[in-house]
Structure 1
């Protein structure tokens, strides 16, 4: 039974996830890169530990952080160190420590970028052909996780992230972009957290899931409305190359019997984007 959960990466997703899990009755441990950032986690009831992957592991108490029933790894590839080798080295150092300290279950937060620019319907049976540095790194780490016999692992791949301070109206405002008719693949943070909770509750391991909202508006209609909702300058769209890549979410909905809180990104824009979110 899972009682103690460690979250490596208590940022935009990890922090509200930790609060959600605390409310569900789990004992939650979390990490931040700097010692001075730990106090804020402690005030929320999170047992906080310093951990930096630079890419070698540096921690004030890695044994305590990894004394858990489940380790959630939520560290996206960094922008300043945006090389596949660097991120692979970071997560490899963490996985080596997890093995050394006897962690038995790992949930890795990945991205649908592992599929690269493939076209059409993309589901869990679609071969991965990443082309970006981050996609290449994540794909390599996924393989490493599933190859290990030291622990059980599941991988959760999120599409473009929305919610909180991630307001899509700001992403392309005033810019000139192509692909007006390309479908948008996004997911709201609230659904990300609920899906993680459902996976933990059902104790599902050795699996990989894609997570994306039900509907896929076009890039033009989505980002024009997103900018308008915030009173920003709308993007200008050119007749460039159009993608028809659509991330399919049927498997995770079926396995978890889950219905998305935000199945329609356009409806979310209309109802929620102007709300003050943290």
Structure 2
């Protein structure tokens, strides 16, 4: 047998698999050169619940999506997220301020009742733009942070329930502006500082609940201004000093709780013996 000659395959040119010459490649335009208006027009179509996560893509996009004008564009494109629904309310509390303001501008409500809804976040400053509010109840949620001063501009409020959250900081002295309040419930939070003297301006207040916080200082004598007060809960704080004798002037008072503070247990001499207030305090260990 003869020796077979090897089979030779034709050589292929590697150039046929190579990328086109570099002269034909066009680089992608830099994102920073894309007009802000174009970015906003593209992203406004995305759901308001998810669009803001794209701010992490780059600084230029973050600027475009953080613009208050974009918040309006986005909500205009999704009117169902601009209505007074629980889903949109929950978003409201975690949105950045630009969205909070844009959303509040669409609301026209007299009552905002959102207790026990599992809402997280902080109290929006934009609440202050809801000037027609008469009832604001956000109790037993997971809200944190301070009470914004803007809430104290809601001069038509008659009921304010913020209890059972994780609110911190001081009770703003501007709370005295809410002269239509009949119920002020701030108990079971992490509020600090003293009871503001301006609280005595709330002459229509019937229920004041500040218990189970971390309030310090003395009970202000201005409390005598709460002429309509029926119940006063101040227990489980760190209040000290004497019980003010001015409390005797609260003729409508029926419930009074001062226990578990650092108050002296001596009743003020100004209190009339056998009065309703005297009897209530004696049952709490005062004498």
TM exceeding 0.5: no
Tell me which protein shows more strand as a share of its residues. Answer: 1
The TM-score with structure 2 as length reference comes to: 0.25
Normalising to structure 1: TM-score of the pair? 0.26
